[in-house]
Amino acid sequence: MKKEIIKHLTQDFESYANQTRNGIEFWFARDLQYLLSYTEWRNFIKVILKANIACETVGHQISDHFVDINKMVAIGSGSERKISDFMLSRFACYLIAQNGDPQKEQVAFAQNYFAVQTRKYEIIEQRINDWERLHARQKLSLSEKELSGLIFEKTENEKDFGIIRSQGDKALFGFTTSQMKQRLRVKPSRPLADFLPTITIKAKDFATEITIFNVKDKDIHQGDRIAWEHITNNKGVRKLLLDRGIKPENLPPEEDVKKLERRVKSEDKKFVKNPEKLNSE
């Protein structure tokens, strides 16, 4: 396919993209019919039905990607009539292209266009998830550092923090820190939080922040009282998670945060060095 045709078709497909109020991208089926060079709606609807079956086969809800709508269109002399249409997700458009006539140049283009766009979305989603986990881990480190300093200030015993943190983990997970490391196959020398999913990292941080607030607000000085406070807060957070059907001790471990951080930094360096890759990957 010639470069000029690819450029022209890309502009066409992008010009027909729409967005919901929530910023979700979609295409109207009637527009896609035109873009894929189908002259008859009755022929194009057959392709949509095949795409429905494909959607269901791979385990997706059809209604999440193909939304039935009716809209009014002008038919001349100021009058209008109602026609049926669909709001299509990017994935729905991909499935339609996959089930279209591959002899049509526009269909061949669409198969690749939506495959790339879907992959870009997946990359962006993963990148955001990685960033959120890194940010949560950094936030927990700051909170734990603040709590450690606060405990030393109040008790003048630097060993109390490690004990109190472990007691907090026992209250949150039902297992001590060392037991959780064994469950998740984390080396004894590595921090448990480096291998926890984002939701659990945030849970630990929330409990730690409450402990910091109450130790300051109630001016608690005794190590055992601070420990009781931290245990109580972690138990409260655990109850909240359990009420929402989340058992923190049963969540699988995730990628080592240190490796994740190195990969994200490496990607950033590549993008700075070769900014054109932002448009090609």
pLDDT band at 280; cut points 50, 70, 90 = very low
Distances (CA, A) of 47 to 14, 55, 97, 177: 21, 12, 8, 55
Residue partners of 22: CB distance under 8 A and separation at least 6: none
- pTM value surpassing 0.75: no
Contact yes or no for 109/9 (Cβ under 8 A): yes
Residue 278: its pLDDT value, please? Answer: 43
Distances (CA, A) of 264 to 141, 193, 269, 273: 19, 18, 9, 14
Residue spans per domain, the chain: 3-101, 126-279
- Least confident stretch, 5-14, 165-174, 175-184, 214-223: 5-14
Residue partners of 127: CB distance under 8 A and separation at least 6: 264, 267
Average of per-residue pLDDT across 70-87: 80
Q: In angstroms, how far is CA 180 from the centroid of its own chain?
A: 25
Helix (H, G, I), strand (E, B) or coil at 197: coil
Per DSSP, helices labelled H in the chain are: 3-15, 29-35, 41-57, 62-65, 90-98, 105-155, 160-173, 177-184, 198-217, 223-243, 257-273
Higher pLDDT, 52 or 267: 52
Would strands 66-76 and 79-88 be described as parallel, antiparallel, or unpaired?
antiparallel
Residue 81: its pLDDT value, please? Answer: 83
Calpha distance 176→167 (Å, rounded): 7
Phi, then psi, of 263 in degrees rounded to 5:
-65, -45
Residue 11 has pLDDT above 90, yes or no: no
Average of per-residue pLDDT across 53-57: 93
Residue 1: its pLDDT value, please? Answer: 61
pLDDT band at 271; cut points 50, 70, 90 = low
Rounded to a whole number, what is the distance in angstroms from the first to the last CA of the chain? 20
